[in-house]
Structure 1
Amino acid sequence: MSSHQTIDRIGPILYFRGYDDDGMRLAVMIVQSQDLPAPAQISTASAQVFPACIQTVSGLNFWRYDFVLAVEEGGYRLGDDWHAVVTDLSGDLRLGFVSCNGEENGDLDRESDERNVMWSRLARDHAEAPFALLLQGGDQVYADEATKDHPLSEDWPEHAPDDPDPGALADLRRHLQDRFAERYMRVLSASACAGIFATVPTLCIWDDHDICDGWGSLPRELTESQVGQAVFSVARQMYLLFQHGGTEADIPDLFWDPTGQNLGWQYQLPGLTIFAPDLRSERGRNNVMGPAGWKAVEALQPKDGHTIMVSSVPLLGPRLSLLESVMMAIPRMQHYEDDLRDQWQSHAHRAEWRRMLTEVLRLRDSGPVTVVSGEIHLATRAEMAPSDLLVNQLVASGISHRAPPRAYARALGLFAGLGEAPLPGHPIRIKPLPGQKHRYIAERNFLTLQRRSGRWSAQWSLEDSGVTPALPLD
């Protein structure tokens, strides 16, 4: 059993549902012990909204409010508390981007002020100049330790029993639900970020640690085992509830594939298209996405303005296939194979990588495209040329995950100097952040994207180096 203090209530957590002539469509979630009474109604200038309990799991009720805020309303009231929300998305606009909110081992034991220092800075930025949306690019929780302390999953992912007892498997599902719920409740209740979640609508895409380290790049006999499928199904249930405020029944309304095989999504705002392919649900050792994901990507048609792609794994990267070949030739380095298989640049995914880059260039015909990504616990950027079809990639990774050694970042930067050109005539170059000398920065960080007078720019907030100069994006 966990020795951590039980969190019996979190919220409000605000989720973006769309934007149209009526205003901003939103959902608010409050998660609390099923022993507590139903939460208060939400009041807006035009409506009174009562919560509906969409699911009960792990002793928790998930209460959701669905409503629309007109541009002039500017927020909502829950009980005695007023929560201001940016409701006009048609002019100047600020978006936040974060990823990697945790660590693989001992994350729940970290001291909150140290763990959430960059969340505190993000909250101060929001207080000074409000964000309209918060994009979360993967690894919103690190669930790797959720499998511990159960006999069926204690050795996961190194081993999974061939034919577990049905009763033990049902007990494992309950165990995983409790452990996933505990992690989400503790992470989302942190005072440093609670105000952000209550006032900035969020859009999330998951990555491997929201399931388990390396999900999809692990051997198939593990991921397709009964234990592996139990891990995935519980992770998916909790991802839908905590990161989207939804259940399986909401999938046709929230994601681009109504069958739920791929949980990617897209939204159209004035002058902006945002989309995020799901790079985990259909992933296998030899593919990043399956038919459902590719069908949705190939159907994308931005209306006008700028396009932002959220890729949980960096799309523009160095020649990791070369590094993969070298490491696989060294027996003691072969345990890193799953990490390298996770990347678009892996030998196993190179044809699929070219396919996605080709789709991005098709989108680029409609206007500027910016890829935002996390996953590597470093800050960096990249460009895919030529200049008349330039695609920018911005990597902000490690809102709370501590940075790797600077020597690692320097070595990766030297390796990136080799360059890469998977598509002829479209070389990829890893470049330093504005104001920095090195290609990769080993500091915790988050990203701000800003549209001012119709022009987009980006700035990184770095833990030690501060805020970078603005990088023009169009």
Structure 2
Amino acid sequence: MPDAHRPRSGRRYIGASRLLVPSRMNSPSPTERFSTDRPLEAERPRCVGPILFARGARSDECRLTALLVLGEGDAPPVLRGPRGEAKPARLHQFFGWTAWGYDFALPAEAGASYALGDRAFAVAADMTGDIRVAFASCNGQEAGDGERPLDERNHMWRRLALEHRTRPFSLLIQGGDQLYADEAMFCHPALARWAKASLAEKPDIAFTPEMREAARRWYAERYVKLAAEPAMAEVVARVPSLMMWDDHDIMDGWGSHPPELQTSPVGQGLFAVAREMFMLFQLGIAPDGVSPLAPDPEGLSFTLGAAFPRLRVLLPDLRSERRLTRVMGPAGWRAFERTLASVREGERVLVVSTVPVLGPRLSLVERLMNRMPGTQDYEDDLRDQWQSHAHRVEWRDFLECLERLAVDDGAQVTVLSGEIHLAARGTMPFREGGGDLHQLVASGITHPEPSALYAKALGLLARFGEAPIKGCPIRMRPLPGKRAVYTAERNYLVLERRAERWTAEWELEKSGRSPPLEI
């Protein structure tokens, strides 16, 4: 890890997350109904899944894991595929459920499928030729997500499911905030009191067993409810997913908070709970396990690298070790560098940076907010960005890693990101004839669109330009067919390889499909 990534002393942080602003805490959330001794609800699903996880593919097979959650005591079925049966392995037991995992492979051929009980699921398992990849992020909203009407909430999931029925996807990449855990802070009165407490008070508040179990129940039930929603369930049972978490999967702004919050017993306790459920529902592994795609056997970083025919997907973990003065810690950088070393010459490389790696000059806004009273509540949102003044050296190092892939290994590098609740794209030229880095942003699939004014403000800011690597200016550009740089509509992204040429298209809620962009 470069020395520049070590924490620098002397930084002063005066902001706090919007989640933890007292004015947001005065109204009780609907989620306060949760408690550790609440009886299991009769309407809760006793069977959730399967959720399909990608484990890589070769020219002859596609390797997969299926996650199935059943009521405690229910016998899991055997998974049947063309190459025989796969027996379930117990991954976890929690609050009246048991999670089962099935590791198996499908032949890389048209018409491949697997069956669980009396249900069969077709999978586009042949990734040797033309393929289609979907990318989505920000699957929720900060408050009231569980109370939204499903027809409104999951409109874009239904559209994605319909598209898959007609033109199947081989892979679904989910790029952060698959779960919005903001309301977990209200699942126990003591957690709500901690959230309202001052920074000086937070380190002295204990994370009690009752608080832990209330938080575990909240995360577990929210994940199960999401997985049971029909439109989403149809897709994730048939399209293998690769997922990486971002802040809302833990708590809003995780890693960009002052130490008094992040290292407090409650902060660390909530992180451990979020980590447990993330491993199960987003990685498809036991909470004490290690993903077969992870180069860090110790599990300090969840960075993943997955290989497919002529395609590599790299998912660095930008949250587990994040602090005010760094994005990735020592374990994260070691893991990321191992995934970079695995890339073969000439491969297409999709790098999932949950926070956009190319964007406007947000450091100007960050410095201005430091000096303006009443704006510090939003500083964690700006500190979250690669463009923050606190991360500038590390940001340049990250971009130079991608440049080496393009120049030294002849890789074609594209970055996929979410987080900003807009559709956007940017480019940056590599040096020494390495071509262009494309940044494609698709966010969010269910998060409500922000205001047009917000999108316009970011577009104006993009005019200032940015060049973290000398001679390599970042340019934010409109989507094909658009005039504005940022598009404020819910959306998902479709990547397609056809005859070795890659294109990108955004599916936009109101204006429909964007023209294809060659990348």
Matched, 1:316 2:358: yes
CA distance in 1, matches of 2:421, 2:235: 22
Mapped pair 1:144 → 2:182: yes
Are residue 227 (structure 1) and residue 266 (structure 2) matched?
A: yes
CA distance in structure 2 between the aligned counterparts of 1:269 and 1:252, rounded to whole angstroms = 17
2-structure distance, mates of 1:225, 1:331: 26
Higher alpha-carbon deviation: 373-382 or 402-411: 402-411
Equivalents in 2 of 1:364, 1:155: separation in Å? 50
SS in 2 for 1:147: helix
TM-score, length of structure 1 as denominator length: 0.96
Q: CA deviation at 1:6?
A: 2.6
For 2:306, which of 255, 267, 270 is the aligned residue? 267
The letter of the residue matching 1:361 is: E
Aligned match of 1:194: 233
- Residues 245-254 or 396-405, more deviating: 245-254
Is 1:182–2:224 an aligned residue pair?
Answer: no
The residue aligned with 1:209 is: 248
CA contact 1:22–1:68 (8 Å) conserved in 2: no
Distance 1:434 1:156 in 2: 47
Contact 1:157 1:222 in 2 (8 A): no
Shift of residue 382 of structure 1? 0.2
Per-residue deviation, residues 175-228 of structure 1 (Å, max 9, x unmatched): 111000111111111111111111000000000000000001011121111111
Match of 2:157 among 114, 119, 125: 119
Matches of residues 301-312 of structure 1 in structure 2 within 5 Å? Answer: 301=341, 302-303=343-344, 304-312=346-354
| Partner residue in 1 for 2:51 | 13
Task: Give the aligned partner of residue 169 of structure 2.
Answer: 131
- Residue matched to 1:339: 381
Letter in 2 for 1:373: S
Bigger drift between 438-447 and 407-416 goes to 407-416
Match of 1:469 in 2: 515
SS at match of 2:448: coil
Determine the structure 2 residue equivalent to 1:153. Answer: 191
Matched, 1:405 2:451: yes
Correspondent of 2:70 among 32, 35, 55:
32
Does the Cα contact within 8 Å between 2:424 and 2:478 map onto a contact in 1? yes
Q: Which residue of 2 aligns with 1:297?
A: 336
Aligned to 2:501: 455
User: Which amino acid in structure 1 is aligned with residue 125 of structure 2?
Assistant: T
**Whole-angstrom distance in 2 between the partners of 1:87 and 1:297:** 27
Q: Summarize deviations over 1:360-384 as a string: whole Å, max 9, x none.
A: 1011122210000000000000000
- CA deviations 1:388-440 (Å, max 9, x no partner) are 52100000001000011111111111111111111101100110000001000
Q: Secondary structure at the match of 2:280?
A: helix
Could you tell me whether the CA contact under 8 Å between 2:283 and 2:291 is conserved in 1? no
1:147 CA displacement: 2.0
CA 1:143–1:356: 2 relative to 1, 3 Å: same
Separation (CA, whole Å) in 1 of partners of 2:350 and 2:356: 13
The Cα of 1:162 is off from its aligned counterpart by 3.7
Deviation digits for residues 245-292 of structure 1 (CA, Å, limit 9, x no counterpart): 102443162312111111010011111111010000000011000111
Alpha carbons 1:152, 1:164 under 8 Å: kept: no
Q: What one-letter code is carried by the residue in structure 2 that aligns with 1:109?
A: E
In the TM superposition, what are the counterparts of 1:332-411 in structure 2 within 5 Å? 332-365=374-407, 366-385=410-429, 388-411=434-457
- Number of equivalences: 470
The structure 2 residue matched to 1:56, chosen from 93, 107, 130, is 93
Q: Alpha carbons of 1:307 and 1:209: their partners in 2 closer, same or farther (altered >3 Å)?
A: same
1:64 deviation in Å? 1.1
CA contact (8 A) 2:194 2:202 kept: no
2:481 counterpart of 1:435: yes
Deviation at 1:297, TM superposition (A): 2.4
Worse-matched range after superposition: 349-358 or 39-48 = 39-48
Unaligned runs of 5+ in 2: 1-32
Whether 1:446 and 2:492 are equivalent positions in the alignment is yes
Bigger CA drift: 53-62 or 372-381?
Answer: 53-62
Q: Distance in 1 between matches of 2:503 and 2:369?
A: 38
Provide the rounded CA distance (Å) in 1 between the counterparts of 2:90 and 2:337.
36
Residue 107 of structure 2 aligns with which residue? 70
Structure 1 residues 322-351: Cα deviation after superposition (integer angstroms, max 9, x where no partner): 111111111111111111110000011111
